[in-house]
Amino acid sequence: MNTHSPFFKILFLFISISLIPTLTGCGGKSEPLSRTGFYFDTVITVTLYDNQKETILDGCFSLAGTYENMLSKTKENSDVWNINHSGGKPSAVSQDTLALLRACLFYAELSGGKADPTIGPVTELWDFSASSPAALPAPADLEKALAHVSYERILIEGNTVRLADPDAEIDLGFIAKGYIADRMKEYLVSQGVESATINLGGNVLTIGSRPDGSPFRIGIQKPFSSVGDTALVLPVTDLSVVSSGTYERYFELDGTIYHHILDTKTGYPVQNNLFQVTILSQSSMDGDALSTTCFLLGLEDGLKLIESIEGTEALFFTSDGKIHASSGLKDLAP
C-alpha cells in the first residue's frame, strides 16, 4: 500500500485548518485575503491579515515562480538542472543559488554528511508516488548511486558551481522551501505587511501575530493519525514551524514502512525510532534544514544540536508515541 500523497496532503490541510481560528478573532474587521497555488510540487497558500492588496499577493506568487524556475532540479535550465547536467564543468548561477548551496554545505558539514545535497542519485531510485506499485531499489543500483554522494564534490568558485563528480546530482529538497519562504516573508514585510502566514506545503512561516495581537496557533498533526488529530498546538508569533516525518512520503511493503528520509550511508530510509521532528526558528530555511538534519541525527544527537542553537526549539516524536521537547518547549509537550 502506497500512501504518499494522502499523508502529504493531510499535513498541509491540517496546518491550514489549524490557522482558521485566526480568521475570525478580529471582531468586525475585514476578512483575511488569501491565495493558493501549486509550486515546488506542492500546494502553497499565502494569507494577509493586514495590508490586503491583490497586487502584493501577485508579487509574492511571482517570487514563487521565479524560485521554482531557479532551484528545481527537474526544470530544464534552472540553476540546479544546469549544474547537474554540466558534465562537471563550471555553471554560472544566481546569488540566491550560491547562498542556498553554501547553507547546504554548512548543514552537511554540521551533520557529518548525514544531510547531503548530493543525495540526488539515490533519491532517483525511490518512488513514493501513490500511482506506482511499492518496490525497493535493486541493491546494486543503490551501491552504484551511493558512490556519487559526497557534498565535498560541490565546488563553488566565484559565481560558478561545478560537481567534481559529473555523475553526482544536487537535490535541494531538504532546504529549498524554507529558503523560499524566507524570501517571500522579506518581500511581504517590504510591502508593509505586519500580519500574515506563508504555508509552503506544511512549511509554515508567520509574520507578526494575529491582528488582535494574540499568537497564531499552529496545530501539529499527530503522525500516522486521521485528519485533524492534533499532537499539540503551538502558539507562534513571527516564527517558522517546519516538520519532517516518516508519514509525509512513504510506502508499506511486506509489513515494513519505507519513507523518504534516506540514510546517506546505506541509501535506505533511516531507522532510528523517530516519526517526526518539528523545528521552531526565526529562519524557515534553518528550520527546514534542521528538521531533516535532526531527524537523521536521531533523538539524542538531534536534541543536543538544538540546545546548542540560540533561538531554536524542537519537538521529537518517537515511535512509542512520546514527544521529546527541547528546553524552551518543555511546558508545551504532553
Contacts of 250 (CB under 8 A, 6+ apart): 3, 4, 7, 128, 257, 258, 259, 260, 269
pLDDT above 90 (res 30):
no
pLDDT score, position 334? 59
- pLDDT, one tens digit per residue, over 74-91 is 999 999 999 999 999 999
Q: Quick one: average pLDDT of 276-284?
A: 96
- How high does pLDDT run on average in the chain? 88
pTM (two decimals):
0.88
pLDDT at 245: 85
Residue 132 in any domain: the answer is no
Task: With respect to residue 277, please indicate whether it lies within any of the assigned structural domains.
Answer: yes
Residue 288, domain member (yes or no): yes
Q: What is the largest CA-CA distance in the chain?
A: 64
pLDDT band at 7 (very low <50, low <70, confident <90, very high): very low
Res 270: pLDDT: 94
What confidence tier does 332 reach under pLDDT thresholds 50, 70, 90? Answer: low
Q: Say if 263 falls within a structural domain.
A: yes
Across the range 304-324, mean pLDDT stands at: 95
Residue 289 lies in a domain: yes
Residue 133 belongs to a domain: no
Lowest mean pLDDT segment, chosen from 118-122, 177-181, 204-208, 319-323: 319-323
Mean pLDDT throughout 263-275? Answer: 94
Q: What is the pLDDT of residues 53-81, one digit of tens each?
A: 999 999 999 999 999 999 999 999 999 99
The set of residues, in sequence order, having a beta carbon less than 8 Å from that of 93 and lying 6+ positions away, is 79, 82, 83, 101, 159, 160, 161
Is residue 255 predicted with pLDDT exceeding 80? yes
Q: Over pLDDT 90: what percentage of the chain?
A: 74
How far apart CA 317 and CA 315 sit, in angstroms, is: 6
303 contacts: CB under 8 Å, gap ≥ 6 = 294, 314, 316, 324, 326
Q: How confident is the model at residue 295 (pLDDT cuts 50, 70, 90)?
A: very high
Range of the domain at 35: 4-52+194-327
Residue 80 DSSP SS3 = helix
pLDDT at 226: 57
Q: With bands split at pLDDT 50, 70 and 90, how would you rate the model's confidence at 221?
A: confident
User: Is the model's pLDDT at 225 over the cut of 80?
Assistant: no
pLDDT digits (tens, 9 = 90+) for 127-176: 887 777 788 999 999 999 999 999 999 999 999 999 999 999 999 999 99
Q: What's the CATH code of the domain at 47?
A: 3.10.520.10
Residue 168 resides in a domain = no
Q: Which ranges constitute the DSSP H helices of 171-328?
A: 176-190, 284-297, 299-307
Q: Is residue 12 part of a domain?
A: yes
pLDDT one-digit tens code per residue, 167-209: 999 999 999 999 999 999 999 999 999 999 999 987 999 999 9
Q: Shortest CA distance to 241 belongs to which of 7, 36, 20, 15? A: 15
* The predicted structure's pLDDT at residue 131: 72
Instruction: Provide the domain count of the chain.
Output: 1
